Structure 1
């Protein structure tokens, strides 16, 4: 039986510690214009903290978790173009899903 793993798109680099997402549109984070963002893998503690803060609001939970994993302010994250936010979501799911099972 051959194991097939999903190849990463060119804009996504997966490492042992996290993912680096190349943005389609440059964006300002913490006052610095960037074209890439690095998201580290979440811990259970961080996931649970985001869940607690969000009080059942899944969008708020995701925003809080992403801000923590990227070390950025929520306002900066919300200013991203939707295409780039979708790339961050794809990167996050590569971090937490078992795609090589």
Structure 2
């Protein structure tokens, strides 16, 4: 039986020094264009501060604000994403925001 590396990237996630690309299971429409891949840039302190300021203490809104900023997708379009793909985005963000070696 082959050992599973918990740090191995899933096939739907690509990482680089600049960010991540998440391949969606269910494409979404962004500004009228169907997309099956969502690029997400690596966060900086300015992103965190802006998302915090605009969320008024609501953790869910904080994360949505942050993801909108990092992906350049509006909240309305991002709101149409299926939960399985949102979880993929969360995993992509987690990998960008931590120093886990692949």
TM-score by length of structure 1 reads 0.92
Structure 2 match to 1:35:
36
Shift of 1:5: 7.3
- Mapping for residues 20-99 of structure 1, pairs under 5 Å: 20-99=21-100
Please state whether the residue corresponding to 1:28 is helix, strand or coil.
Answer: strand
The runs of 5 or more residues in structure 1 that have no matched partner are none
Aligned length: 97
Aligned-residue CA RMSD (Å): 1.2
TM-score by length of structure 2 reads 0.91
* Structure 1 residue runs of 4 or more that deviate by more than 6 Å after TM superposition: none
